[in-house]
Amino acid sequence: MAQKNKNIVKAINKNVRSSPRKINLLLKNIRGKKADIAVRDLSFARQRIAFDIKKTVQSAIANAENNNQYDIDNLYIVEAYVGKSIVLKRFRARAKGRASAIKKPYSNLTIVLSEKKTKKEELHGTKS
């Protein structure tokens, strides 16, 4: 079990200005995919928040390459999840002196990458 945790790389983006529901729609599409394919898919997604998710995935790839010397081609997304953060509360004036609440939610975004070894590397037990 300890060896399994060694080859994961994380990137966390805190206080992303979007609701967790909207972010999770995009995260569903990239879970389990190779990292470069996930970046490509996010580049062409129409949602505004896709840009922030793409930046977080690219940050995780950079962490893997720079800190752990992983091969970019073998990286894939193990986990991609989002959680609630702060909520800004604003008010809009309504009729008859009333007010209605406007909630502006923020999210915490986490991307976890792992390196998938190729068949050749598993047989020889080396890393090129």
Q: What is the pLDDT of residue 1?
A: 41
Would you say residue 88 has pLDDT above 60?
yes
Would you say residue 122 has pLDDT above 70?
no
Other Cβ atoms less than 10 A from the Cβ of 100: the count is: 9
**Strand order across the 99-115 sheet:** 8-16, 99-115, 75-93
Q: What percent of the chain has pLDDT over 70?
A: 87
For residue range 41-74, what is the model confidence (pLDDT) as tens digits?
A: 999 999 999 999 999 999 999 999 998 888 889 9
Q: What is the pLDDT of residue 2?
A: 45
Would you say residue 3 has pLDDT above 90?
no
Domains of the chain from N-terminus onward: 2-115 (3.90.470.10)
Residues composing the chain? 128
